[in-house]
């Protein structure tokens, strides 16, 4: 096994150093993980100063899913007091790929080691809440983990009461007061849920379901970063409408909402 599995934090430190060499920037300020459907939203952030394959950086695996990028970009955003260095990951590794939890959280650990104090996690997900419509962005207020898998090992008893930063959610809602907040369930996949499982999740208090974000939020928070999670509802969860779920539908809904999402991120990121 590679260093990533025996020494995940050491590998993240190496990766951060490599990013600093590739970009010529000593540190980055905010990180943005773009999930499936969000990749085109990154284009609204302007022109990156640097772009490279994630596999050029220690510890990153090649992407395995259509529409999940495997690319890292560095942007200089215009902040209130000088340029903000934003590190943007197009695509992520998921638990369902079967590579373990370490590759899943390697991006956010690398980002924190690169200096990021804020980590923005985006995803495409199924809507459990009957009030949601396809193409709607929802801020993650809290989560339920149904995978039982943590990125943390050992007696690392971190408090996760305010995992999805209230401070940052307030900033985003000031930009867009129409945004809803919801509880996101992490489901391992790769099979979607049955209608009975969705009904269970709704009873538990869940609004959104997806196959990412939760381990990254925990890993970033455990290293001291503030986390913002935004889900794009790209399909009604199983049994909600009677329609079947398709990956193509997800990609299409993401493309359709990308403009609004990119604009929102562009406004919010420099304020974080
Ligand atoms: I996009 O309906 C997307 N990702 N688990 N269920 C789960 N993950 C998803 C879904 C969904 N839609």
What does DSSP assign to residue 164? B
Chain mean pLDDT for the chain: 91
CA distance 76 to 74: 7
**pTM listed for this prediction:** 0.94
In CATH, which of 1.10.275.10, 3.40.640.10, 3.40.50.1580, 1.10.240.10 is domain 8-271?
3.40.50.1580
* Residue 238 alpha carbon, nearest atom of ligand 1: 2
Given a cut of 80, whether residue 75 has pLDDT beyond it is: yes
Residue nearest to atom 8 of ligand 1 (CA): 210
Among the atoms of ligand 1, which is closest to the Cα of residue 185?
5
Q: Is 159 buried (19+), middle (13-18) or exposed (0-12) by CB count in 10 A?
A: exposed
Better-predicted residue by pLDDT, 35 or 112: 112
Residue 241: count other Cβ atoms within 10 Å of its Cβ. 12
Tell how far the Cα of 133 is from the centroid of ligand 1, in angstroms. 14
Write out pLDDT tens, residues 200-235.
999 999 999 999 999 999 999 999 999 999 999 988
Cα distance between residue 72 and residue 33, in whole Å: 9
Q: How far does residue 16's CA lie from ligand 1's centre (Å)?
A: 31
pLDDT(1) > 50? no
Alpha carbon nearest to ligand 1 atom 2, residue: 126
Task: Report, as an integer, the average pLDDT of 151-172.
Answer: 95
Pairing of strands 82-90, 71-79: antiparallel
Per-residue pLDDT reduced to its tens digit, 232-248: 998 888 888 877 777 77
Range 185-212 burial, b when 16+ CB lie within 10 A, else e: bbbebeebbeeebbbebbeeebbbbbbb
């Amino acid at each position: 096994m590679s260093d990533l599995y025996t020494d995940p934090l050491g590998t993240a430190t190496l990766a951060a150093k490599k990013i600093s060499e590739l970009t010529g920037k000593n540190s980055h300020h905010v990180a943005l993980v773009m999930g499936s459907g969000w990749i085109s939203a990154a284009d609204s952030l302007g022109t990156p100063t640097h772009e490279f394959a994630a596999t050029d950086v220690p510890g990153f695996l090649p992407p395995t899913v259509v529409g999940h990028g495997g690319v890292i970009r560095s942007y200089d955003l215009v902040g209130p007091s000088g340029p903000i260095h934003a590190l943007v990951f197009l695509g992520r590794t998921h638990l369902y790929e079967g590579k373990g939890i370490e590759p899943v959280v390697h991006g956010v650990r690398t980002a924190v080691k690169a200096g990021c104090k804020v980590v923005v996690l985006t995803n495409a997900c199924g809507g459990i809440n009957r009030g949601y419509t396809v193409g709607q962005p929802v801020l993650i207020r809290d989560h339920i983990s149904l995978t039982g898998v943590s990125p943390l090992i050992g007696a690392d008893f971190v408090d996760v009461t305010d995992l999805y930063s209230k401070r940052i959610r307030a900033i985003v809602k000031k930009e867009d007061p129409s945004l809803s907040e919801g509880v996101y369930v992490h489901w391992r996949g790769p099979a979607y849920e049955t209608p009975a499982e969705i009904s269970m999740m709704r009873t538990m208090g869940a609004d959104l379901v997806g196959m990412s974000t939760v381990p990254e939020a925990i890993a970033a928070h455990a290293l001291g970063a503030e986390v913002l999670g935004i889900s794009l509802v790209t399909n009604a969860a199983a049994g909600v409408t009677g329609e079947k779920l398709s990956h193509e539908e997800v990609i299409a809904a993401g493309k359709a909402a990308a403009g609004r999402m990119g604009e929102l991120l562009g406004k919010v990121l420099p304020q974080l």
